[in-house]
Structure 1
Amino acid sequence: MGTDASYKSDLLHIESSVVALERITNSGDSIASTSLINEPGYWRRRIETLLSQRDISQVDRDHAQALLNRLRGIARSQAESQRI
């Protein structure tokens, strides 16, 4: 598998996890931090690692940035629900 395909595959995997986290927060539930995969910070670090690669395409870079924005929204929702 080429590097470009590898980045796309990683981003799709990360996106599916982000979707699952969004579903949890949108339903009003809190995310249990029983595993790294439940931590938005884990996925943020994975994305930042991808973005640090010089040969990542602009399309993949844009996809990664969009996922980072969605993770920020999840983190905000978590913070707001903890204040309530």
Structure 2
Amino acid sequence: MLRPDGELRFYEHVRSTNPLTAAAESLVTPLWSQIYGGCHPDRDTVAAIETAGFMIDHVSRFSSHGASHVLGVARNTT
């Protein structure tokens, strides 16, 4: 829960922009999610944050250890 002027800061691993890697992520997600406590390596976190009613102020995308990541700030739109 955020107060009206609060901000959501996020750092997540996300679906790869590489089509082959993204396909592999989709393939392993059902088992991966069961083993790693609900983690979904093929999730579009930025879209999920926007769908939840937040406005993205800033987002950086980068790759680390073979995985795609996003780092950013979002604000409540209400």
User: Which band: TM-score by shorter chain?
Assistant: 0.3 to 0.5
Larger strand proportion of the pair: 2
Instruction: Give the TM-score, by structure 1 length.
Output: 0.31
Q: TM-score, normalised by structure 2?
A: 0.32
| Greater fraction helix | 1
